[in-house]
Amino acid sequence: MKMTIGEIAKAIQANTDNFDEALLKKPVTGVCFDTRKMQPGQLFIPLTAEHDGHDYIDNAVAGGAAATLWAKDHADRLPLKIPALVVDDTLKAFQALSKYYLDKINPRVIAITGSNGKTTTKDMVAAILSSTFHVTKTHDNFNNEIGLPYTILQMESNTEFLVAEMGMDRPGQLDFMSKLAQPDVAVITMIGEAHIEFFGTRDKIADAKMEITHGLKADGFFVYDGDEPLLNERAKSVDVIKSTFGRKSANDVFATDSKDGQYSTEFHVNLWPDIDFKIPMIGDYNVNNALAAISVGRIFQIHPEIMAKKLAKFDLTKNRTEWLTGSKGERILSDVYNSNPTAAKEVLTAFKNTETKGRRIAVLGDMLELGDQSKAMHASLAEALDPASIPVVYLIGSDMSALYEKLKPIYAPENLHYYQADQLDQLAADIEATLSASDEVMLKASHGLHLENVVATLTK
């Protein structure tokens, strides 16, 4: 992003009567709402959530902020050292600025959501499109009403495609983001149980996911999992070109076979049976994410051999089914950004089919936002665990106690371990004490459990 203070002020309708001409022409090179990451020349966005961003204005000034947005109801302590653009609501002004910049750069927009797989699919789509176009994609987990504007404002002026991941935990969230981004292509990877605490049923989750089509351009495309009846029914009301992917032959794009390797998965696609596709991650379920990405590539006429080449070596966002090497030489499968029953079972199924000379060790943490059904859903993971294939299990979190009780009759006491959520350090120490170089460790939990700290201990 490169704009002047004057251009920004005009975009968000901020009053500049007290600004001289030189100040209006002052360049701004980016935006920042976390002063710990402030770079000289950026616009500071003081947001109000758990903390009030306005309280950190001195840090922003020290970090070299060129200017700041400023909420009207904080006018009694207007900053004096840098220009302040006074607005009614800093978040809404931030979003309005991103909309202005999106219209200015005018890239094609690919919007991606789903209960599972949206981050992986985002990475795959970006890899495929980057073979031919200049692409910006959502960084890390910047996939909400704050993250989307931030992603948009990170675009370079030559961006041709924006690949935007969109998450949600309540009705209306995707409606807002879709209408802000106005996608050329909307993708729904699948419908699962994520956030069922807030929605109650998968039907209502599907309704909320369909909001991603609300801002879809009239000449746009809707790409979705054609094996999901909830989506097939709802797609009938979306009047754009549709493309389905999945495993059934009724889909436009489907896998004709798939085979798990030690650290990768191979498959073929109905449209090009002679081309070998390979992704650098295990799990048959990840093939569906690749099929979604291939469907997008097909819309923009990327040659299938180029798509295969890009998928074979795409950059996967950290902590999503990521293979690492531990300090003792053990292999670690880190999938600790998020979790729900469907995803956890799929990862466990893939993990127990890996080849190893040592033990497979599963480390499972609480799956959050499952509501009244949480205990039962945690206990249901028992169907994906058995001592013959995964001989050692570590569990952490209050709701994992249900799985612990379910596994007690199956696992020997010395191979089944349970911890409270605040015992991360003890968990990491106990795992590390028993590891050998030939072992494999899989970690899966919702991000709120912070199993990434255990991963960090095991890999330091």
pLDDT of 199 reads 81
Give 400: exposed, middle or buried? Use CB within 10 Å, 0-12, 13-18, 19+.
Answer: buried
pLDDT mean over 146-170: 96
> What CATH number does the domain containing 170 carry?
3.40.1190.10
- Beta-strand runs (E) in 49-127: 67-71, 84-87, 108-113
pLDDT of 261 reads 85
Q: pLDDT at residue 224 above 80?
A: yes
Q: pLDDT at residue 408 above 90?
A: yes
Residues 396, 304: one domain?
no
Residues 33, 129: one domain?
no
pLDDT in tens, 203-214: 999 999 999 999
Structural domain total, the chain: 3
98 inside domain: no
100 inside domain: no
316 inside domain: no
CA distance 447 to 164: 20
Cβ neighbours for 347, distance < 8 A, ≥ 6 positions apart: 283, 321, 333, 335, 442, 444
317 inside domain: no
- How many Cβ atoms from other residues are within 10 Å of residue 310's Cβ? 21
- Residue 164 and residue 186 in contact, taking contact as beta carbons nearer than 8 Å: no
Residues 290, 411: one domain?
no
Q: pLDDT at residue 319 above 80?
A: no
Residues 190, 55: one domain?
no
pLDDT in tens, 258-311: 998 888 999 999 999 999 999 999 988 899 999 999 999 999 999 999 999 999
CA distance 84 to 43: 10
pLDDT in tens, 20-36: 999 999 999 999 999 99
Binding residue ranges: 114-120
pLDDT of 430 reads 98
99 inside domain: no
- Residue 260 and residue 283 in contact, taking contact as beta carbons nearer than 8 Å: yes
Residues 337, 278: one domain?
no
DSSP secondary structure of 252-314: SEEEEEEEE-SS-EEEEETTEEEEEEEESS--THHHHHHHHHHHHHHHTT--HHHHHHHHTTP
Q: Which residue has the higher pLDDT, 284 or 240?
A: 240
pLDDT in tens, 241-259: 999 999 999 999 999 999 9
257 inside domain: yes
Structure tokens at 354: 């890996």
Residues 401, 452: one domain?
yes
φ, ψ at 116 (rounded to 5°): -135, 155
The total number of residues written for the chain in this structure: 460
Average pLDDT of every residue of the chain: 96
**Which of residues 260, 286, 311 is at a domain's end?**
311
pLDDT of 318 reads 81
- Residue 65 and residue 29 in contact, taking contact as beta carbons nearer than 8 Å: no
pLDDT in tens, 423-444: 999 999 999 999 999 999 999 9
pLDDT of 85 reads 98
Residues 263, 384: one domain?
no
Q: pLDDT at residue 358 above 90?
A: yes
**Which of residues 55, 89, 123 is at a domain's end?**
89
Residues 278, 344: one domain?
no
Q: At what angle do helices 304-311 and 285-299 cross, to 10 degrees?
A: 140
pLDDT mean over 345-358: 93
Residues 299, 355: one domain?
no
**Which of residues 34, 58, 89 is at a domain's end?**
89
- Beta-strand runs (E) in 47-149: 67-71, 84-87, 108-113, 135-137
> What CATH number does the domain containing 55 carry?
3.40.1390.10
pLDDT in tens, 108-129: 999 999 988 999 999 999 999 9
Residues 347, 305: one domain?
no
pLDDT of 84 reads 97
- Residue 330 and residue 439 in contact, taking contact as beta carbons nearer than 8 Å: yes
pLDDT of 263 reads 87
Structure tokens at 389: 């294939």
Model pTM score: 0.92
In this structure, the strands spanning 185-188 and 416-419 are unpaired
Q: Which residues pair with 312 in a beta bridge?
A: none
pLDDT of 200 reads 79
pLDDT mean over 72-85: 95
pLDDT of 338 reads 87
> What CATH number does the domain containing 405 carry?
3.90.190.20
pLDDT of 452 reads 96
432 inside domain: yes
402 inside domain: yes
Residue 342's H or E segment, with its range, is helix 341-351
Q: Residue 223's domain spans which residues?
A: 106-311
Residues 305, 338: one domain?
no
Q: pLDDT at residue 174 above 90?
A: yes
pLDDT-based confidence at residue 196 (cuts at 50, 70, 90): confident
Binding residue ranges for ATP: 114-120
Residues 344, 378: one domain?
yes
The rounded Cα 127 to chain-centroid distance in angstroms is 15
